[in-house]
Amino acid sequence: MSASTVLYMDHAATSPLRPQAREAMLTALELGANASSVHSLGRRAKMIVEEARAQVLDLVGGYGAKLIFTSGGTEANNMALHQARVREDITHLIISDGEHDSIYTAANYVGKPVLKWPLLPSGLADLEALRTLLAQVEGRAFVALMLVNNETGIIQPVADAAEIVRAAGGWLHVDAVQAAGKINIDFDVLGADSLTLTGHKIGGPVGVGALVYNGDHTIIPMITGGGQEQGLRAGTENVAGLAAFGAAALAVQLCERLPQQTAVEAALKELDARIIGGDVARVPGITCLAVPDWSSQLQLIHMDMAGICVSSGSACSSGKVKHSRVLNAMGLENLSGGVLRISTGWSSQPADWDRFFEVWSGGYKAFRARQSTKLNIKEQA
């Protein structure tokens, strides 16, 4: 099966490289200079980096915000956690149960007490629980809440959480990796202290990301050495990657939810599939469905054999198919082993949703028929 015949519906894992990003990357590669060099080509490379910085910052608004380029969202999240590690005034971490592993797991290595912040059955973070947890903390708390959950597409109440955290004197970090390119992001309106982005979720390349932060804060470097990134992140700049990141940010055009996605979700529910987060606000282009008996692994095999690329949730688990920690946190343990995430993006077509439903529903009906046959045989035995 050739790449041209495959239907790609896994944009939430990685969105294909946009033409604008590819062009910007090739132009920067042809320049072939180090952005720290003082000669004319080095200065041109530096201009490319700074132009990309402005383009990515513009994606999230925030007139008083600053931006540090990183190797991706995971490093940016770890850089935010590094602030909690080295700041003596931060005594505890409060991490929502819906966070990406680069926050949820990495928080355990900071060396300070970690309090887990529960999700409501709807998938939204429990704001009353946040108030209670903050009241328990002596000192300052580092609080993490992602803007859009990477498995379910649920939009979290970040601005409301920010008010609560600010009143308690805490630091709020927002992983906006899955939100960028799908909904408007305004750093100032969100009220965050720091925010994470990455290139490959918006049609940029893998291997570039950013930590956006309140310009009134002092950021303590995690990677030291040279003076790159205003001395806040050492290492020779990936000029070509950053040029492509900036071009992708500039090319982003937010899309409305497609009628085809809504129709497919309705049809899925008629087949007794559960649409996770179906009763709360979600970003367009992500549908997380779950069924109790048809395992995620079998669903993925069926879809892949038909030439449709989807996933079972986060792609950052070394290629493993496992039960969803997020669904478990929502009290949906009985469904967490049968999750499928379908996600579209800039290169998708409306008909992709119809094709997905045709293949998935056919497989599900065949699976149910096999289950029924096995039950009949068992009853007759």
Round to whole Å and give the CA distance between 357 and 359.
5
Residue corresponding to tokens 């028929």: 369
Residue 216 one-letter amino acid: D
Q: Where are the beta strands (DSSP E) in 133-276?
A: 140-144, 171-175, 194-198, 209-214, 274-275
Beta strands 339-343 and 286-290 are antiparallel
Burial string for 242-263 (b: 16+ CB within 10 Å, else e) reads: bbbbbbbbbbbeeeeebebbee
Note whether 266 and 138 are within 8 A (CB): no
Cα separation, 83 vs 106, in Å, equals: 13
Our answer to whether residue 316 is catalytic in this structure is yes
How far is CA 289 from its chain centroid?
18
The phi, psi pair for 129, rounded to 5°, reads -65, -35
Asked if residue 178 lies in contact with residue 158, where contact means CB atoms within 8 angstroms, the answer is no
Q: Cβ distance 58 to 66 under 8 Å?
A: no
Q: Which two tokens stand for residue 170?
A: 């805490």
Please give the structure tokens belonging to residue 51. Answer: 């132009």
Q: Is 214 helix (H, G, I), strand (E, B) or coil?
A: strand
- Helix axis angle for 40-59 and 19-31, nearest 10°, is 160
Q: Parallel, antiparallel, or unpaired for β 209-214 and 194-198? A: antiparallel
Would the CA dihedral through 335, 9, 157, 215 be positive or negative?
A: positive
Question: What 8-state DSSP symbol labels residue 222?
Answer: S
**DSSP track, 120-142:** PTTSSB-HHHHHHHHHH-SSEEE
- Alpha-carbon dihedral angle through residues 208, 314, 282, 201, given to the nearest 10 degrees: 20
Positions marked catalytic? 316
